[in-house]
Copies of this chain bind each other. A is one copy, B any other.
Amino acid sequence: GFSECLQEWAELDKDYQHLQEIHRQYKQKLEEVSKLQTSCSSGISRQRKKIKELAVSLEECKRNPPPEHLSPDDALTIADIQDCISERSSAFLEMEAFLPTKNGLYLSLVLGNVNVTLLNKQAQFAYKDEYEKFKLILTVILLFFSFTCCFVFSYRALDAMFNFLLVWYYCTLTIRESILINNGSRIKGWWVFHHYVSTVLSGVMLTWPEGVLYQMFRKQFLTYCMYQSFVQFLQYYYQSGCLYRLRALGEGHNMDLTVEGFQSWMWRGLSFLLPFLFFGHFWQFYNSITLFKMSQLPNCKEWQVAMCGCSYMVLFLGNFLTTLGVVYQKYMN
């Protein structure tokens, strides 16, 4: 009825006043936050600069000690300060995790100057988790797609769609990985670069015209893609396992998990994964050799052959050496 409407409206109006008040507060707080943000960021960079200068002066003091001043006590003080300094650098990193970071070159090119920093640990974790899930879903799709191209339909146009999807997928990965790095992930530069190279490779495969040479390489390429999806699948279990365990460690609410427990889980995962990875690297090497041989054939006119060969060689070298490096580094720790 009408009176109920009036009553309802009065209530809504009261609610609305309240909402406006909240929104006013919100805007005010937002401004305060952005001011504090600026002063934190500039404070950190000022401290960093001064600390750097101080570190230099301290080294100076230690190297040419004015004998009347530098007692053993003083030497101890210097060592103390130097310890403090290295602690502070990590404190600054910790602080910066909550401050927006300037976008790197690639992100500013693709997205422009929009802020992609996630301002709390949960959001950062959720983002990484989503990234892994995204890779998983696309891996499954790519597996089916390459299977279809390989065994069911053999059309150049379908292959082109597959390669187009690959280009899009790798592009997207590079963007997401740049966002991850912006949010403090310690992902190695090579894995990101590896996705740039893969983008170019898929783009070149896209332009390779149908012909005898294309048909010669097609089966090998598609089975390689299938194998890669399979390895990516295994990698997903390892990476997301690491992620969840590290998070549980960091939050400390899972008492069963210790650093040693994590280490042993990691090594078990790695030693299962590594043979498959190295076989994949070997396959990349094999692809590259096959393509170089093809480019020597008298009927080879396509520039794509040599170009793909080079890309596979780059991928092989980079992946192989970086993986060795990672394992060595983990072993040393």
Residues in A lying within 8 Å of B, measured CB to CB: 1-6, 8-9, 12, 15-16, 18-19, 22-23, 25-27, 29-30, 32-34, 36-37, 39-40, 43-44, 46-47, 50-51, 54, 57-58, 61, 65-66, 69-70, 74, 77, 81, 88, 95, 98, 109-116, 118-120, 126-127, 130-131, 134, 156-157, 160, 164, 167-168, 171-172, 175-176, 179, 203-204, 206-207, 209-211, 303
Contact = CB atoms under 8 A, between A and B. Distances in A.
A112 B27 CA distance: 27
A187 to B, nearest CB: 15
Contacts of A74: 2
B95 A112 contact: no
A19 B47 contact: yes
A77 B44 contact: no
Contacts of A109: 172
Given A15-B47, A23-B40, A57 B98 contact: no
A54 B12 contact: yes
B27 A30 contact: no
A271 B175 CA distance: 40
Contacts of A57: 4-5, 8
Given A47-B16, A111-B179, A203-B206, A30 B119 contact: yes
A171 B169 CA distance: 12
Contacts of A77: 6
10 contacts: A1-B61, A5-B57, A5-B61, A8-B50, A12-B50, A19-B43, A22-B40, A110-B176, A113-B126, A114-B116
A40 B19 contact: yes
A110 B110 CA distance: 11
A134 B118 contact: no
Given A22-B40, A110-B176, A112-B130, 16 more contacts: A1-B66, A4-B57, A5-B54, A16-B47, A22-B39, A26-B98, A29-B29, A112-B176, A113-B126, A113-B127, A115-B118, A116-B116, A157-B303, A160-B207, A206-B207, A209-B209
A15 to B, nearest CB: 6
Contacts of A19: 40, 43-44, 47, 95
A114 B203 CA distance: 27
B8 A54 contact: yes
Contacts of A3: 69
Contacts of A44: 19
